[in-house]
A and B are shown apart, each in its own frame.
Chain A
């Protein structure tokens, strides 16, 4: 399968997101705060919120879990700081860079297209900019992150990408009517 996906319809575009190194960090809440500070953030983002700074974006997917997206250019320094900050503290840090792929969605029809894949209310008041959560997209697990009023980022397992982008393509076509 090709790693670059591209869809363009009136009011709906889908493109492969910029390359990121991805890590799943699991630890107690206090340790997550320490990890966030080591990465240059003020604190761990609240449940279902995100925080960004420098090369780091942190998505709080669970009370014990943060998904880290690192710009490859600064990833080495961030990881070194994280290892120093969490030295001798119980935690789990797993790289999932190649497991997942990021898809950037944008356009006026993104909301209705996503709404046909997930049971979550994706309207702006219920799902504000900066909110992120894992959910079901069709029958596949995926992370939904709102990056703008008409922009979403999906972080999904690589092998699910053709399935999910295919569903989105059909949903966007239907939403245009």
Chain B
């Protein structure tokens, strides 16, 4: 069973959660100033890394809150979860290596 640590409820089974896509994508403050290419970049273009990704999750069958998580896309290991609005945490090499293991 894959556990995800909700910042509010603690460790819960993955089945209680919904993925919300990549985190820290800022909507342009004034869309009318954007070129089509810039707007497409905001709407569609994602990093899709092989390794650590910061993404949004929602505790859909729990407290119903969105939060952010750092996950390794190769191993599905979660390094950490953190509240919305906080910057992406810095991860040391040992934690990154553990997530990739």
Binding site for B on A (CB under 8 A): 47-48, 61-65, 119-120, 133-136, 141
Contact = CB atoms under 8 A, between A and B. Distances in A.
Given A47-B8, A119-B12, A119-B13, A136 B61 contact: yes
Nearest to B83: A63
Interface in B5-43: 8-9, 12-13, 15-16
Q: Considering the complex of A and B, which 9 residue pairs feature the smallest CB-CB distances, nearest first? A: A62-B63, A119-B13, A136-B61, A63-B8, A62-B64, A134-B62, A141-B61, A47-B8, A62-B65
Given A119-B13, A119-B16, A134 B8 contact: no
A61 B12 contact: no
Given A119-B1, A119-B13, A119-B15, A135 B8 contact: no
A135 B63 contact: no
A65 B65 CA distance: 10
Does more than half of chain B's interface fall in helix, strand or loop, or is it mixed? Answer: loop
Given A134-B61, A134-B62, A135-B62, A62 B16 contact: no
A51 B68 CA distance: 30
Contacts of A134: 61-64
B16 A63 contact: no
B12 A120 contact: yes
Contacts of B62: 62, 133-135
Contacts of A62: 8, 62-65
Given A47-B9, A65-B63, A135-B62, 8 more contacts: A62-B63, A65-B64, A119-B12, A119-B15, A133-B63, A134-B61, A135-B12, A136-B15
